[in-house]
Amino acid sequence: MPMSPGYVPFHPNPSKPKYKPPPGAVDTHCHVFGPEAKFPFAPERKYTPCDAPKEKLFALRDFLGFDKNVIVQASAHSKDNRAMVDALGAASGRAKGIAFVGEEVTDEELAWMNKAGVRGVRFNFLKRLVDYTPRDVLQRIVKRVQKFDWQIVVYFEMPDLPGLEDFLTALPTIVVVDHMGTPDVKKGVDHPENQRFHRLMDRHGNFWVKVSCPERMSVAGPPYDDVAPFGRALVERFPDRVIWGSDWPHPNVKVAPDDGVLVDYIPKIAPTAELQRKLLVDNPMRLYWS
Ligand code: 0GY
């Protein structure tokens, strides 16, 4: 099946980063796609990606100087989590997963995923990626996964936060926000919209945030200096609740980012060795491996 028109495959030849992550570093946001011949994409998907199989992900992990991955189920595979679980099984304990499920998921499937290393489910609120799921359905899913102590990963766009805040802050689990809540970098770190998100993080100690995806928000482009103040503000204010992810293979970006440049962005948002260790090792280990 051809890729969606305009779909950009991942960078074929990323540069070796100058920044060397500390031993045991975890990339907490990446995906696997297919291979389609073995793990077909979902009929209800909103885009058709390129194949991005586990072998390529693990090779990139090693090349970039990382030790572990958290593989997030992407919408092109929808509720068929087999490609992600297959990758967990091949990772020799060095990968955990975040699933996407509907109410129809069985308790056996949940137990199977938990045993394989799944540590949470993702609620995706982006209309361009998924169909709407009523909140009461999501609440029932939360109840069912609580026995595994799973986290809820949420992907929303910042203008939608006011409408989601009551729902999100009522969640009884750890809540992990994707991509800094996707602020509009043109508005600046101090803009009320972004500060509302900081206040939410401040008031709710169960909220964590991925300081990931500068390439999705940048206006200036690489090396993403216009996004760095947003990441740095979160890392410095919430040093024990931030994690980092590459987002490989970068679904739906217009220009495939150089993954080496994304790794070299890390010291811009976490300028000290201590902050880097928390961001890349201590925090993700506490969240996914304890
Ligand atoms: C991401 C972002 C995107 C895609 C998905 O589930 C997905 O398909 O997450 C996106 O298009 O913004 O987190 O990788």
247 is catalytic: yes
Cβ(76) – ligand 1 distance below 6 Å = yes
Q: Which residue has the tokens 């809820």?
A: 152
Instruction: Please state the pTM of the whole predicted model.
Output: 0.98
**How are the residues of the chain apportioned to helix, strand and coil, as percentages rounded to the nearest 5?**
40, 15, 45
Helices 82-89 and 54-64: crossing angle in degrees, nearest 10, is 50
Ligand 1 contact via 259 beta carbon (within 6 Å): no
Residue 193 CA to ligand 1 centre (angstroms) = 22
Distance of CA 42 from the midpoint of ligand 1 (Å) = 15
CATH class of 26-289: alpha beta
Q: Are 230 and 189 in contact (CB under 8 A)?
A: yes
- What is the three-class DSSP state of 10? coil
Cα distance between residue 3 and residue 259, in whole Å: 21
| Spatial CA neighbour of 84 closest among 14, 93, 95 | 95
Average confidence (pLDDT) per 10 residues, the chain, 290 residues? 92 98 99 98 97 98 99 98 98 98 98 98 97 97 98 98 98 98 98 98 98 98 98 98 98 97 99 99 98
* Beta strands 242-243 and 207-210, pairing class: parallel
101 Cβ below 6 A of ligand 1 = no
**252 in ligand 1 pocket by Cβ < 6 Å?**
yes
